[in-house]
């Protein structure tokens, strides 16, 4: 049975320094929730508070409606997978998986059943007699996850588990953890600084900055409707372009901005004339052929990256602002050449001076 987690005005202080500022969050049973944000934003601290490894300074943490603030970590029904595999080097894989259960005096027959089931789920049956030094990084991480599975927890916590793997293995393990969630159906909370991991794995993303929740939502909700400039810049790869802009005219039907050395017509009003705003557009929503949108800016090409299925163009607008363009297919563009960038009029963002979306 899946489990809910609720944070009610949760605070964390170290002495006089407050690092988690009154977080309210509800994680539904069986949900895969990802905490994402830059280094130092508080995501691992928040995860450790849920696990019981860090005391909660203020507020309440509830599991299935029961307050857990003073409940020891071992009694919360939680298993945690860390960035470091933390395997016992003198034990083989079977012994590593079984050790926690042996310590808890689980009967040997049940230990064997749980270990074999975890090995089958993770496809590590052929590795059970090997020592950790005989395993690849991906295999070690599978064993670390298996050690959590055998405990049959109500909640899985993952603290940047893929950071030590190379790029290809990270993609492979992302798929495997997502499949594991689908197979087990447990509530899972996953911490990462990699927004690609967050976008591809999560049912719900929690974007954190400086101990504050900036936005909570499904991956595509955050991608399509970021609440503020921080979320817009953090979610999406390559990151959103931001152009300093001025509202030149606005009425009940639309507005005209000055950005990138050009005038941009928008199909909705934007407050008062003369105001400073930030115009945001994702690289993949910019075209370079006439008819691919409304004119955004005349730009000079600084660098072209050919990725095979996509061409990345790094350019500069007439007023000196950088603009990244992601174009499908293979395009031959000369360095220093000029072109017109076009924007899809339905896929832009505007942010006020305080960073909120308008």
CA-nearest of 217, 145, 156 to 187 is 156
pLDDT at 137 over 90: no
Instruction: Give me the torsion for CA of 296, 297, 298, 300, rounded to 10°.
Output: -110
DSSP state, residue 73: G
The residue among 332 and 68 whose pLDDT is bigger is 68
pLDDT at 272 over 70: no
Mean pLDDT of the chain: 92
pLDDT at residue 195, as a whole number: 87
What gap in Å lies between CA 219 and CA 212, rounded to an integer?
19
What gap in Å lies between CA 313 and CA 302, rounded to an integer?
8
pLDDT at residue 164, as a whole number: 80
Cβ(266)–Cβ(256) under 8 Å? yes
pTM of the model: 0.90
What gap in Å lies between CA 189 and CA 167, rounded to an integer?
22
Q: H or E stretch including 246? A: strand 241-250
The rounded radius of gyration (Å) of the Cα atoms in the chain is 25
Q: What is the pLDDT of residues 311-345, one digit of tens each?
A: 999 999 988 999 999 999 998 898 999 999 998 87
CATH top class, domain 5-234: alpha beta
pLDDT at residue 83, as a whole number: 81
pLDDT at residue 235, as a whole number: 94
pLDDT at 252 over 80: no
The residues facing 58 across adjacent strands are: 11
Q: What is the pLDDT of residues 162-210, one digit of tens each?
A: 888 888 888 888 988 998 899 889 999 999 988 889 999 999 999 999 9
Cβ(337)–Cβ(285) under 8 Å? no
What gap in Å lies between CA 292 and CA 343, rounded to an integer?
7
Share of the chain above pLDDT 70, in %: 99
**Per-residue tokens: 41:** 């934003």
**Per-residue tokens: 286:** 């910019």
CA-nearest of 252, 225, 188 to 3 is 188
CA-nearest of 98, 165, 94 to 126 is 94
The residues facing 241 across adjacent strands are: 281
The 3-state DSSP class for residue 213 equals strand
CA-nearest of 187, 345, 206, 205 to 279 is 345
Cβ(312)–Cβ(257) under 8 Å? no
Residues in the chain: 358
**Residue owning tokens 């670390």:** 144
Q: CA–CA distance from 306 to each of 3, 148, 314, 328, 337 (Å)?
A: 46, 42, 12, 10, 16
Q: What is the pLDDT of residues 36-63, one digit of tens each?
A: 999 999 999 999 999 999 999 999 999 9
Q: What is the pLDDT of residues 95-127, one digit of tens each?
A: 999 998 999 899 999 999 999 999 998 889 999
pLDDT at residue 109, as a whole number: 94
Domain boundaries, the chain: 5-234, 241-351
CATH top class, domain 241-351: mainly beta
Q: What mean pLDDT is predicted for residues 64-85?
A: 92
pLDDT at residue 223, as a whole number: 96
pLDDT at residue 85, as a whole number: 79
């Amino acid at each position: 049975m899946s489990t809910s987690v609720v944070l009610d005005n949760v605070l964390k202080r170290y002495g006089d320094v407050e690092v988690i500022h009154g977080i309210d969050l509800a994680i539904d049973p069986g949900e895969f929730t990802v905490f994402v944000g830059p280094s130092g934003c508080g995501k691992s601290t928040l995860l450790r508070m849920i696990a019981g490894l860090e005391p909660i300074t203020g507020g309440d943490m509830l599991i299935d409606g029961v307050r857990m603030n003073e409940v020891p970590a071992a009694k919360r029904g939680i298993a945690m997978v860390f960035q470091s595999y933390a395997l016992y080097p003198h034990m083989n894989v079977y012994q590593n998986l079984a050790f926690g259960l042996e310590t808890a005096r689980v009967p040997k027959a049940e230990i064997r059943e749980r270990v074999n089931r975890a090995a089958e789920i993770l496809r590590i049956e052929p590795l059970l007699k090997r020592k950790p030094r005989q395993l690849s990084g991906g295999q070690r991480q599978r064993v670390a996850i298996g050690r959590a599975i055998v405990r049959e927890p109500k909640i899985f916590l993952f603290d940047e588990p893929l950071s030590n793997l190379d790029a290809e293995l990270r993609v492979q393990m992302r798929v495997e953890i997502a499949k594991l969630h689908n197979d087990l159906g447990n509530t899972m909370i996953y911490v990462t600084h990699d927004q690609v991991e967050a976008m591809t794995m999560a049912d719900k993303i929690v974007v954190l900055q400086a101990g504050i929740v900036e936005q909570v939502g499904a991956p595509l909700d955050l991608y399509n409707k970021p609440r503020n400039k921080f979320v817009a810049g953090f979610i999406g790869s390559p990151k959103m372009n931001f152009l300093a802009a001025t509202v030149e005219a606005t009425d009940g039907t639309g507005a005209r901005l000055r950005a990138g050395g050009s005038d941009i017509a928008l199909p909705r009003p934007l407050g008062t004339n003369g105001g400073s705003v930030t115009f945001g557009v994702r690289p993949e929503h910019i075209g370079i052929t006439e008819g691919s949108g409304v004119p955004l800016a005349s730009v000079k090409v600084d660098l072209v990256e050919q990725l095979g299925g996509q061409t990345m163009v790094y350019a500069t607008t007439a007023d000196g602002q950088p603009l990244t363009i992601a174009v499908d297919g293979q395009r031959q563009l000369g360095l220093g050449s000029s072109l017109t960038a076009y924007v899809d009029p339905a896929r832009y963002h505007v942010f006020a001076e305080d960073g909120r979306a308008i």
